[in-house]
Amino acid sequence: MGRIGIVSYGAYLPRYRLNRAVIFKALEWLNPGGMTGEKAVSNFDEDSLTMAVAACINATDEIDRKKIEGVYFASTTAPYCERESAAIISEALDLNPNVRTGDFTGALKSGTVALLAALDYAKGGGGNMLVCAADCRLGKPGSSVELLFGDGAGAVMTGDENPIAVFEGAYSSAADFPDFRRSEGDKFVRASEERFIRDEGFAKIIPEVVHGLLKKLDLTPKDINKIGYACVYARDHATLGKKMGFEPGQIQAPLLAVAGELGAATPLVTLSAMLDEAKPGDKLLLASFGNGADALVFTVTEEINKLKNRTKLSKCLAAKKELTSYEKYLVFRGILPIEIGVGQDIAPTQLPLAWRERKTIMALYGTKCKKCGTPQYPPQRICVNPKCGAVNEMEPYHFADRKGKVFSFTEDYTAASISPPLIYSMVDFEGGGRFIFELTDCESGSVKTGMSVCMSFRRKYHDIERGIHGYFWKAVPVKE
Amino acid sequence: MADGIKDKVAIIGMGCTKFGEHWDKSAEDLMVEAFQEALTDAGIEKKQIQAAWQGNQFTEVNIGQSALPLASTLKLPFIPVTRVENLCASGTESLRGACYAVASGACDIALAMGIEKVKDLGFGGLPRANEDIMVMGTKGRLIYPNWVNPNPGMFGMMALKYFERYGYSIEEGKRALAKISVKSHHNGSMNPKAHLRREITVEDVIKAPIISWPLGLYDCCGVSDGAAAAIVVRADMAKNYSPDPIYIKSMQVAADSGEGLLYTDYDYTHIEAINRCAIKAYREAGIENPREELSMMEVHDCFSITELVIYEDLMISPRGKAIDDINAGFFELDGKLPCQPDGGLKCFGHPIGASGIRMVYEIYKQLQGKADKRQIKNPRLGLTQNYGGQPPFGVCSICILGH
């Protein structure tokens, strides 16, 4: 067994940013606030699961996903209580069917718990494990956590094949510390008093695991090039680092002002930020917080210079669009019910059909004709090329990773949409194949024919009455 | 080659209700009204009808499944009654069933009924598309872009490609499309049975709210309730019943087989099924130059852009030149080849299953010289055409009628 650690990494932040001033403007009569900066908010068709898929795609952009042996997903906001998110993610990523999957939930530290489980898997002789963490927690309108929480996802792949950061060791603690909670049926997270969360919570628990780990590895704060930790509140971040013995230059800037407190995703997104900047030889210390804490140390290797893409989180931070309407935010998050059109309720999902067609729907598989080479979506038995028409000569063909071009499009004001107009397009894929896809993460007036698009795994519908989250792929305009 | 259906079947009686929002009428009321008019027109007794067809798309709005609604409403005793459904071609399909039965010698007199009662939905538009009518069955719910009717958008995408290909700006293109709707509103204003009877201007069309860009409100047809019926007999018996029977010259159907939706060759500026259907129909009817030989047309103007590409797909206008004909007034009521003399789907209204027979009703009345203020001078041959589905993937029906 070689050295184990992180083989690749990725991040995803939803495109929309809600400036906290927008929330103040709407709710100043209720909560005079005090928090500045902006938070990342997911589009109406995103949730923790879709953001995790996006982060995983970002983390495996230079990797053959068929070499992945499992997926661990950490979140406190998984779409289903019973029905595994990691299994859905592995379908969307088109992993081998014999992978190991697991959901880690409950605690905000579940991101590092999943990461440690994946490192243990490698330690036990296993191979590449994809670890992703995502959250989109809701604070009650008018609450301070509403201002605090942001949406996002991080992912790393662990293994022993040329790691970019070698795992040196970890130190954990468990505590039933009552900072945040959400019970069955709760839509919003309840928070304890901020001073209590600080003084009895992260200000004690994070130093305990950080110092515990340094001692265990026989290191001092000076040996650490960068430390990233999840300490909930921006104003306490620098103080805590100083208290633990770190200089300001050693402390990874928190994401609170640019993305918000990302829940279970905070450690992995923070790690992405650290790895975007890391140099070979750097020692990175990462600490989570939530019902205890985990601290981990990694040593960055020369392998990191071989990665072609080192702007994983920085690109997410740069690719943003202001959401200027607080009401729209409430609608996107399902807080404010709206009329999307009478009679436009969601048709039942025929689950045996969805199961049979899962490669088509979840992994965006079509077919390619072995006789004439024409890719076609959805899968056909008889070739759609009028000059071919070969029968049963198809092989599976994966469209999800392929770019396409907008052949034609429309902005439909009659279609049911939470964010009208519904924009959809006839997409022509590079290498062949054509189908109609909804466009997302774009505004009315911004789409042109010939524009490049890539495919993004999104929530197609949420059938609240029947408890079904329907997922499918949409097209997102990409800058050339 | 089979010799086709030309001059084997004649229509001796037709009926058509007013199309519109019939809040106070049921599907039964509408069927009885259309049927009684057709029966009186044909001058026969109900018991002479030996087979019947019922065309409708939506079973879930008022009508229900099977052809039993027709059999039980009209009290047709123990004869074969069959429901047919082929999207917007359903009405023409029911007439085709009746005509083929008569032409085959299976019976002498048959009834075709088209009916739809969409306004019972309680909301505007059509039933949600993902429930029943997606071209890929209920799999469509899981992969199509939205969960309502994608038709305005699919035709909107065609308009965009058409303008692009032939070098029209969006404004120029919309102005040409507007003239199509203005013409149909003019014709519809003279038709007491039409749903929408108000004249409009090009500016009204241009300024209307966008439905599915670039198409606006007046680029879209109305959604209506209505029924239409036809009684057909063997051609050699026609004169026994009617002094002025109208003869079927051709009935053709062509369905797209999916290439347009999935294969990148399709240019999205025409509808292949309509063109293929037209070629077959003209051959069956013995028409060599449709632009010269046809006297009038009732085509499937579900959207203004649809009517525009139909002009080209039916080989009336050369490819890319339909706008020249529109600007020249070629399709106006007093033009060379009047189109939509009754107001079309745009103004007469569009109760899906009834529309095909409604079109035949207008051609029938025109050929008999009974079209009142809308009467076209000395018509010889008329064409009706439906297209169900969406531009890359649909079914076209064509009927040609004459003396």
Q: Indicate if B238 and B306 belong to the same structural domain.
A: no
With CA atoms as reference, the chain B residue closest to A380 would be B262
β-strand B9-16 against B246-255: which pairing, if any? antiparallel
- Asked if B115 contacts B57 with a C-beta cutoff of 8 angstroms, the reply is no
Q: Indicate if B79 and B194 belong to the same structural domain.
A: no
Catalytic-role residue among B16, B350, B396, B399: B350
Confidence of residue A343 (pLDDT cuts 50, 70, 90): low
Strands of the sheet containing B381-390, edge to edge, are: B81-84, B51-55, B109-117, B225-234, B9-16, B246-255, B393-402, B381-390, B296-298
pLDDT at A27 over 60: yes
∠ CA B255-B257-B262, rounded to 5°: 135
Q: Give the closest of A342, A426, A435 to B157, CB-based.
A: A426
Strands (E), B170-273: 210-212, 215-216, 225-234, 246-255
The model carries a pTM of: 0.95
What average pLDDT does range B260-284 have in this prediction?
A: 95
Q: Indicate if B194 and B84 belong to the same structural domain.
A: no
Confidence of residue B379 (pLDDT cuts 50, 70, 90): very high
Q: Indicate if B233 and B251 belong to the same structural domain.
A: no
Q: Indicate if B74 and B165 belong to the same structural domain.
A: no
Does residue B141 belong to any structural domain of this protein? no
Helix (H, G, I), strand (E, B) or coil at A420: coil
Q: Of A379, A372, A382, which is closest to residue A397 (Cα–Cα)?
A: A379
- Asked if A458 contacts A45 with a C-beta cutoff of 8 angstroms, the reply is yes
Amino acid A2: pLDDT: 66
Does residue B100 belong to any structural domain of this protein? yes
**Which of A197-206, A305-314, B126-135, B283-292 has the weakest average pLDDT?**
B126-135
Tokens 């531009």 belong to: B391
What total number of domains does chain B contain? 2
Mean pLDDT of chain B: 95
The two tokens of residue A246 are 């770190």
Q: Is B353 on the interface with A (CB under 8 A)?
A: no
Q: Which CATH class is domain A5-332?
A: alpha beta
Mean pLDDT of chain A: 95
Q: Indicate if B337 and B201 belong to the same structural domain.
A: yes
Q: Indicate if B252 and B192 belong to the same structural domain.
A: yes
Does residue B394 belong to any structural domain of this protein? yes
Contact B142 A357 (CB under 8 A): yes
Residues A187-239: pLDDT tens digits?
999 999 999 999 999 999 999 999 999 999 999 999 999 999 998 998 899 99
Query: Could you say which of B245, B278, B293 is where a domain stops?
Result: B245
Kindly tell me the sign of the dihedral angle through the C-alpha atoms of B272, B278, B284, B289: negative
Who's near A320: CB < 8 A, 6+ residues apart? A13, A15, A16, A17, A40
Q: Indicate if B180 and B205 belong to the same structural domain.
A: yes
Amino acid B148: pLDDT: 58
The residue segments making up the domain with residue B241 are 9-125+225-245
Is B350 catalytic? The answer is: yes
pLDDT at A70 over 90: yes
B214: cis peptide before it, omega within 30°? yes
Residues A192-204: pLDDT tens digits?
999 999 999 999 9
Helix (H, G, I), strand (E, B) or coil at A99: coil
For A125: left if phi > 0, alpha if psi spans -120 to 50, otherwise beta; the answer is left
Helix (H, G, I), strand (E, B) or coil at A194: helix
Contact B264 A410 (CB under 8 A): no
- The length of chain B in residues reads 403
CATH 2.40.50.840 corresponds to the domain A351-364+399-477: yes
Q: Indicate if B112 and B197 belong to the same structural domain.
A: no
Question: Which residues 154-183 of B are in CB contact (within 8 Å) with A?
Answer: 154, 156-158, 160-161, 164
Q: What is the dihedral of CA A339, A344, A346, A348, to 10 degrees?
A: 150
Query: Could you say which of B210, B245, B280 is where a domain stops?
Result: B245
Does residue B93 belong to any structural domain of this protein? yes
HEC profile for A17-79?
EEEHHHHHHHHCCCCCCCCCCEEEECCCCCCHHHHHHHHHHHHCCCCCHHHEEEEEEECCCCC
CB pairs under 8 A between A and B: 148
Amino acid A342: pLDDT: 65
Distance CA B108, CA B213 (A): 49
Instruction: Give the residue range(s) of CATH 2.40.50.840 domains in chain A.
Output: 351-364+399-477
Longest dimension (CA), chain B: 59
> Which residues on chain B are in Cβ contact (under 8 Å) with A460?
142
Amino acid A32: pLDDT: 75
Amino acid B216: pLDDT: 98
Q: Of A128, A131, A121, which is closest to residue A72 (Cα–Cα)?
A: A131
What average pLDDT does range A400-406 have in this prediction?
A: 97
- Asked if B52 contacts B67 with a C-beta cutoff of 8 angstroms, the reply is yes
Who's near A337: CB < 8 A, 6+ residues apart? none
Q: Of B375, B348, B60, B66, which is closest to residue B356 (Cα–Cα)?
A: B348
**Which of A45-54, A199-208, A461-470 has the weakest average pLDDT?**
A461-470
Does residue B144 belong to any structural domain of this protein? no
Q: Give the closest of A411, A413, A416 to B147, CB-based.
A: A416
Does residue B102 belong to any structural domain of this protein? yes
Helix (H) or strand (E) holding A415: none
CA–CA distances in Å: residue B276 to residues A240, B220, B255, B270, B279: 76, 25, 9, 11, 5
Does residue B44 belong to any structural domain of this protein? yes
Contact A384 B127 (CB under 8 A): no
Instruction: Give the residue range(s) of CATH 3.40.47.10 domains in chain A.
Output: 5-332
Q: Indicate if B70 and B92 belong to the same structural domain.
A: yes
Q: What percent of chain B has pLDDT over 90?
A: 87
Contact B143 A378 (CB under 8 A): yes
Q: Of A229, A189, A191, which is closest to residue A209 (Cα–Cα)?
A: A229
Distance CA B95, CA B357 (A): 7
Strands of the sheet containing A226-229, edge to edge, are: A100-104, A68-74, A128-135, A152-159, A5-12, A165-174, A292-300, A283-287, A226-229
Is B220 catalytic? The answer is: no
Residues A83-92: pLDDT tens digits?
999 999 999 9
With CA atoms as reference, the chain A residue closest to B145 would be A438
Q: What percent of chain A has pLDDT over 90?
A: 93
Kindly write down the DSSP assignment for every residue of A272-323, as one continuous string: HHHHHH--TT-EEEEE--SSEEEEEEEEE-GGGGG-S---HHHHHHHS-EE-
CATH of the domain at B187: 3.40.47.10
Q: Indicate if B69 and B31 belong to the same structural domain.
A: yes
